[in-house]
Amino acid sequence: MSRPDLVTVTPARSAPPPQSRRTGRIPVALLLPAALGLVFLVLPLAGLLIRTPWSTLPQRLTEPGVLTALRLSVQAATLATLLCLVLGVPLAWLLARIDFPGRRLVRALVTVPLVLPPVVGGVALLLVFGRRGILGGWLDSAFGFTLPFTTAGVVLAEAFVAMPFLVIAVEGALRGADVRYEEAAATLGAGRWTTFTHVTLPLVAPGIAAGAVLCWARALGEFGATITFAGNFPGRTQTMPLAVYLALETDLEAAIVLSLVLLTVSVAILASLRDRWLGSS
Amino acid sequence: MTARRLALSAAMMMVALTGCGSGETTDQRPQGGAVTGAVTVFAAASLTESFTRIGEDFETANPGARVTFSFAGSSALAHQINQGAPADVFASASPANMTTVVDAGNGDGNPSVFVRNQLVIAVPDGNPGRVSGLADLTPPDVKVALCAEQVPCGAAAVKALDAAGTELIPVTLEQDVKAALSKVRLDEVDAALVYRSDVRAADEEVDGIEFPESAGAVNDYPIVVLKNAPNGSAARAFVEHVLSGPGQAVLAAAGFQAP
């Protein structure tokens, strides 16, 4: 039995299998667009760096609002990712392993937040979870609890926008995984739940990790749904993207500094996580 | 030098990206006083309804002219103009953003204040919370949306609240006046401080409560013909139309005050 090929769904694994070392020149038809693609992605970052006010950077970084917004951003994105893992992994499993009527439709519905403009997503969330919303009205009358304008609201908005990234990545990993391991577990008497926790999950762990990273990154940069659903208040709902947007109204340099902070922190966190996975796998 | 060149290319990209709807604008000189050609007007979001109407009137009065609008936040528009966006006229919701454009040398002549706008308390239709003034907004269980201080309506709100000596803790500081108003329309907040013209535009869903302290925070709206206007003469004609009787009547009907 061959080891299931996880490479296609796991960016976290980078060790190239031996057969990938091919001979011959790299075709220009691939190299040129690849280089252009890279330049296209990196150039805006260079634009930010060029306009960065390096001389006043230390003062700007130590402004109290920056740290508050950064902390809130990281916390909310992490909580949103956890929420997405708890709900999204089972959903991905259902889509990948269970053949039920309407599966195609469900799969299409999962991607709705991807195509929905985030601001529209925010309005939609208000209509459901707002204090006059279908569920939110009940929450308010039964528990006196409302989600808009709270940090929980930020988490909810980010999870809504980011969950498709996780579900799609995990479903891809599950489809790429060899089901014979699960079948073997079943023949040895393992129930579906035991098979899921002891065989399936470890098998697709790198795929889940990759999905979680995408999900976290998307949540961290979320703007539209957050400001629409959770509003903007420093320390409670003002995440970094919101702070950047408002800084842009009056002070371009402040906006650039805030963007750089967000970029640096997210890249640092992602890189350190990636190293950890590479070390363990 | 490199920074300038970069700024220039950034400006070109910005123009390309924002697609200001004036790509085909050419320098069409009027013949015999007639106003012809395309006029591109960059106007504050709060002018959307009234300027659209004024644009239609202007085209009716000048059959050879065509007006295109780009409505957005005043500061975003000011950024775009200073980056070289091909606009003819700039109508700002605050003097500060107009100053940005004029100081960069992009104004042709002095801006004129064409209307003023005053804050009111927007409440859901029928005023269920029986709000009659700023003091009714201070209890902690009353949810209030303000604009963020970085945008004109937020700066005006701070001024008005200071003038009243009212300590008000909002639940949210919205990115623009329409966003603050939409929180009232969706009934997520009990009140918001917005412009009278915004309340007028959303007449069926919200009521506006006037409050005396807003007199100290009246916002001037300046308008100017831009120096690099592709169609300067038509731009001047448009500004004259805005300042004229018919133009002012449309603005007054939309809830603006005369300057």
Tell me whether residue B22 is in a domain: no
Nearest CA-CA distance, residue B26 and chain A, Å: 31
Which ipTM did the prediction report? 0.78
Tell me whether residue A199 is in a domain: yes
Tell me whether residue A172 is in a domain: yes
Q: Quick one: B103 exposed, middle or buried, by C-beta within 10 A (0-12, 13-18, 19+)?
A: exposed
Domain count within chain B:
2
B1 touches chain A (CB under 8 A): no
Tell me whether residue A44 is in a domain: no
Helix axis angle, A118-129 relative to A151-176, nearest 10°? 110
Q: Express each pLDDT in A21-49 by its tens digit.
A: 567 888 999 999 999 999 999 998 898 89
Q: Express each pLDDT in B128-167 by its tens digit.
A: 989 999 999 999 899 999 999 988 889 899 999 998 898 8
Reply yes or no on whether the pLDDT at B27 is more than 90: no
What's the CA gap between A96 and A108, in Å, rounded? 13
What's the CA gap between A26 and A191, in Å, rounded? 49
Domain that holds residue A228: 63-238
pLDDT given at position A7: 40
Which of B150, B158, B182, B189 has the most A C-beta neighbours within 10 Å, making it the best mutation to test the interface with A?
Answer: B150
Q: Is B108:B229 a contact under the CB 8 Å cutoff? A: yes
3-state secondary structure of B246: helix
pLDDT given at position B94: 87
Nearest CA-CA distance, residue A233 and chain B, Å: 5
B224/B212 same-domain check: no
Q: Which positions in chain A touch B148 (Cβ < 8 Å)?
A: 232, 246, 249
Q: Which positions in chain A touch B157 (Cβ < 8 Å)?
A: none
Minimal Cβ distance to A249: which of B2, B151, B171: B151
Residue B77: CATH number of its domain: 3.40.190.10
Domain count within chain A:
1
Domain that holds residue B240: 37-116+220-253
Q: What percent of chain B has pLDDT over 90?
A: 65
Closest-CA residue of A relative to B100 is A250
Q: What is the mean pLDDT of residues A111-115?
A: 93
In this structure, of A6-20, A80-94, A199-213, the range with the lowest mean pLDDT score is A6-20
Tell me whether residue B107 is in a domain: yes
B100 touches chain A (CB under 8 A): no
Q: What percent of chain A has pLDDT over 70?
A: 90
Name residues 125-144 of chain B within 8 A of A (Cβ): 143
B195/B138 same-domain check: yes
| β partners of residue B174 | B147
Which sign does the torsion angle of CA A159, A266, A41, B19 carry? positive
Residue A83: CATH number of its domain: 1.10.3720.10
